[in-house]
Amino acid sequence: MSTPGSLEISSGAAIRMIAGREIRFRLTSKAFVWTTIALVAAVVLGGVAAGLLADRETPPQQVGLTSQAAGVADQLVATGKAVGVTIETQEVESEAAGRALVTSGDLDALVTSTSPELTVEVKQTLGDTGTAVFGPLAQQLALGSAITDLGGDPAAVAADIASAEPVVTSLEPAPDVDGAQIIAGYIAGILLFISLMTAGQLVAQGVVEEKSSRVVELLLATVRPWQLMAGKVLGIGAIGLIQIVAVVASGVGTALAFGLVDSSTLNLGVTAVWAIIWFAIGFAMYALILAALASLVSRQEDVGSVISPVIGLMIIPYIIGISIAPWDPDNPLIVWLSFVPFFSPFLMPIRIALDAVALWEVLLAAGLCLVLIPVLVWFAGRVYSNAVLHSGGRIKLKDALAGSQGSVATSR
């Protein structure tokens, strides 16, 4: 009693130390470092690949016009715009000079005359983009000269044609989902699944590691079971959060660097922040359940069987989420399941990425989860405290919850 030094430490300090050990230990473990690198690399390489594909967007077509054909310049650019091809025109001094530029590759096409026929010279072929522009242009010019022959005003007719379009009324408007959103939806779904799955399993293995090595008997002589469990869950949660922030940040960085989302309605910032928030919520729920279940067994070999129902519970929303949501974001199954607490962390991030959800829906789903967390804390704390010192065979969840024959010595 007279010995100095060893003093009662506060719960906060105990939990910080336990969480700190988890963080230090995992951060320096090869497994963690390599999974993080692999995930970051997958996201960055995926982004780069998508960027290269998107960059095949055709460069402006260079079209030379001789002086006879110069009048068609505006119409040419307008037609190109209508079919989605950017066209830059330049007047050439002579046909010969223009031909030289076509041969050298500086010009994609040379328009030598517009009447009686549109005459275009190219190096080899007009190509798909060229055909797409010059075909309609030739038709317009032919139509224009016919209108002129009939005494009409080609410009007025052209304006009427341009403004004519059908009036379409959509009875069940589908949300606009573009490619970038679909990719983001997939990434959100897969990323949340992988990180919740790995972090959750780390918690379960960590609990059993302490049980099987009996170090828990030394630890519980000085800290209380709930402090040990809280420290472990928070520490591994912090590690998981570091990992997912690294992956999300590198994904966002890649997307911005390659301009992947410039033309998209994808709200990258909102999607990224919510993915991280949903990881935190999902982790809290699953980690507590997994810690409680893992405390029921004493050997690493038994972890798999005791946590498999929960792993199954994680796979269901994941499969449903990524197989249905990107193609049918308003599917009633997706919508309803995304409000079910253990499913929301997988489904909501996908719906957010697809921009197929209202903010109040997200907040409601998050609120439902947060309301459940105190219940889970109570449940996990009770099961863990009653079961963690019980060595030997697997104990029944019911017994651990009741605290009947377990060894409950240090729970007070």
Partner 1 sequence: MTVLSISSLEKSYGTVRALRDMTFDVHGGEIFGFVGSNGAGKSTTMRIAVGVLSADAGTVTWDGRPVDHAIRRRIGYMPEERGLYPRMKVGEQLVYLARLHGLDAAAARRSMERWTETLGIEEKRGDEVLKLSLGNQQRVQLAAALVHDPDILVLDEPFSGLDPVAVDVMSAVLRDQASHGVPVLFSSHQLELVERLCDRVGIVRAGSMVAVGGIDELRQTDERAWVVDGPPPSWVSAVPVATVVSSSGSRSVVSVGPSAPDDIDQELLRAALAAGPVREFARQRPTLVELYRHVVTTEATPSPELEEVSA
Residue 386: closest CA among 370, 410, 368? 410
Q: Residue 396 interacts with partner 1 (CB under 8 A)?
A: no
Q: Residue 305 interacts with partner 1 (CB under 8 A)?
A: no
Q: Which of 103, 213, 265, 404 binds partner 1 (CB under 8 A)?
A: 213
Q: Which of 219, 306, 325, 334 binds partner 1 (CB under 8 A)?
A: 219
Q: Which residues pair with 61 in a beta bridge?
A: 87
Q: Residue 30 interacts with partner 1 (CB under 8 A)?
A: no
**Which range binds partner 1 by CB under 8 A, 18-26, 38-46, 111-119, 149-157?**
18-26
Judged by CB, which is closer to partner 1: 81, or 299?
A: 299
Least distance to partner 1, CB of residue 20, Å: 9
Q: Residue 215 interacts with partner 1 (CB under 8 A)?
A: yes
Least distance to partner 1, CB of residue 301, Å: 16
Judged by CB, which is closer to partner 1: 224, or 394?
A: 224
Least distance to partner 1, CB of residue 289, Å: 24
Residue 9: closest CA among 258, 320, 219, 293? 219
Least distance to partner 1, CB of residue 226, Å: 12
Q: Residue 407 interacts with partner 1 (CB under 8 A)?
A: yes
Q: Which of 25, 226, 339, 379 binds partner 1 (CB under 8 A)?
A: 25
* Rounded Cα gap, residues 145 and 153, in angstroms: 10
Beta-carbon neighbour count of residue 360 at 10 Å?
A: 8
Q: Residue 170 interacts with partner 1 (CB under 8 A)?
A: no
- SS3 label, residue 195: helix
Q: Which of 220, 275, 322, 347 binds partner 1 (CB under 8 A)?
A: 220
Beta-carbon neighbour count of residue 94 at 10 Å?
A: 10
Q: Residue 223 interacts with partner 1 (CB under 8 A)?
A: yes
Least distance to partner 1, CB of residue 213, Å: 6
Q: Residue 217 interacts with partner 1 (CB under 8 A)?
A: yes
- The H or E element that residue 112 is part of is strand 109-113
Q: Which of 30, 56, 398, 412 binds partner 1 (CB under 8 A)?
A: 412
The tokens of 361 are what? 């829906």
* Rounded Cα gap, residues 298 and 295, in angstroms: 7
* Rounded Cα gap, residues 258 and 204, in angstroms: 39
**Long-range interactions of 98-104: CB distance < 8 A, separation 24+:** 98/64, 98/66, 101/64, 102/64
Q: Which of 5, 12, 105, 332 binds partner 1 (CB under 8 A)?
A: 5
Name the CA dihedral angle for 40, 44, 46, 52, rounded to a multiple of 10 degrees. Answer: -170
Task: Round to the nearest angstrom and report the end-to-end CA distance of the chain.
Answer: 22
Least distance to partner 1, CB of residue 218, Å: 5
Annotate 7-55 with DSSP letters as a single string: ----HHHHHHHHHHHHHHHHHTSHHHHHHHHHHHHHHHHHHHHHHHHHT
Judged by CB, which is closer to partner 1: 187, or 219?
A: 219
Interface residues with partner 1 (CB under 8 A) are 1, 3, 5-9, 14, 17-18, 21, 25, 209-210, 213-224, 389, 391, 407-410, 412
